[in-house]
């Protein structure tokens, strides 16, 4: 069995072993993984952070021994800014928010150098503030960065920066935390989940208080929400049907 980590700013994970298949998620710099199937062209990996499986172009992966992979998994800092240039292996990389980096004292595998050590205290971050920095970021199925993000990737990345481990898909995230009965009882940072006509969870957003929600739908935007769902003022229509509200802390 092989192990490794993402040594590039962002790498797509695909549903099948081809560039022609949909991107289901992304690895961000510092994310570690376990290899399930390996070939010279495509590798099936399972991400350690959320257990998500996907096919990755083998050329885009950095393979490590189990011992060195454990060193990377222990990196304790999370990139807080939307995009920041970091020196990795003597070259500048533009890393997105949510990338994992070593702090002072963290072990770094031989052959890997990270010159910029961020001073990150993740549990002091305000999710509401950093969420609004994403406004206007385009929707991208499977995306997890400000250059393209889907609804659950937006939630996962923001909560990761704030020190929480969230699953990848909205249908998985809805099983986390504890229930909240109505919008009138919701607090800022509660997660609102939305369903289709068959009852399947298909969307998630972050409650901001005062009947406002920030979510990725076409772009990262702020809309009005009530116990019926999301009301889009631009379209003068409800666009998402509320299913449940969950509190992560």
Residue of 69, 146, 215, 240 marked active site: 215
**How far apart (Å, rounded) are the C-alpha atoms in residues 125 and 142?**
25
Residue 240 is a catalytic residue: no
Q: What are phi and psi of 127, to 5 degrees?
A: -60, -40
Query: Residue 168 in contact with residue 50, Cβ under 8 Å?
Result: yes
Paired tokens of 40: 């010279």
Residue of 69, 151, 192, 240 marked active site: 151
Paired tokens of 61: 């992966």
Residue written as tokens 């961000």? 28
Residue of 6, 69, 192, 203 marked active site: 203
Closest CA to 95 of 166, 155, 157: 157
**How far apart (Å, rounded) are the C-alpha atoms in residues 167 and 179?**
17
Query: Residue 226 in contact with residue 232, Cβ under 8 Å?
Result: no
DSSP characters for 175-194? Answer: TSSEEE--GGG--TT-EEEE
- Which residues are annotated as catalytic? 151, 203, 215
């Amino acid at each position: 069995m092989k192990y490794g980590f993402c040594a590039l700013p962002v790498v797509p994970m695909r549903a099948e072993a081809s560039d022609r298949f949909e991107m289901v998620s992304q690895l961000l710099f510092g994310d570690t993984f376990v290899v399930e199937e390996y070939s010279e062209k495509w590798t099936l990996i399972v991400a350690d952070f959320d257990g998500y499986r996907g096919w990755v172009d083998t050329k885009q992966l950095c393979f490590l021994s189990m011992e060195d992979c454990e060193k990377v998994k222990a990196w304790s800092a999370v990139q807080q800014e939307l995009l920041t240039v970091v020196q990795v292996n003597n070259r500048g990389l533009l890393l997105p928010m949510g990338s994992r980096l070593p702090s002072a004292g963290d072990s770094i595998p031989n052959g890997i150098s990270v010159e910029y050590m961020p001073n990150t205290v993740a549990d002091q971050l305000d999710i509401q503030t950093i969420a609004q920095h994403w406004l206007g970021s385009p929707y991208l199925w499977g995306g997890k960065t400000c250059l393209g993000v889907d609804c659950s990737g937006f939630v996962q990345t923001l909560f990761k920066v704030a020190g929480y481990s969230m699953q990848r898909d909205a249908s998985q995230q809805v099983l986390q935390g504890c229930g909240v009965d109505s919008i009138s009882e919701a607090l800022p940072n509660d997660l609102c989940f939305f369903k289709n006509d068959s009852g399947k969870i298909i969307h998630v957003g972050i409650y901001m208080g005062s009947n406002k929600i920030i979510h990725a739908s076409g772009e990262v935007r702020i809309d009005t929400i009530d116990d019926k769902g999301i009301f889009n003022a631009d379209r003068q229509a409800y666009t998402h049907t509320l299913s449940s509200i969950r509190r992560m802390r």
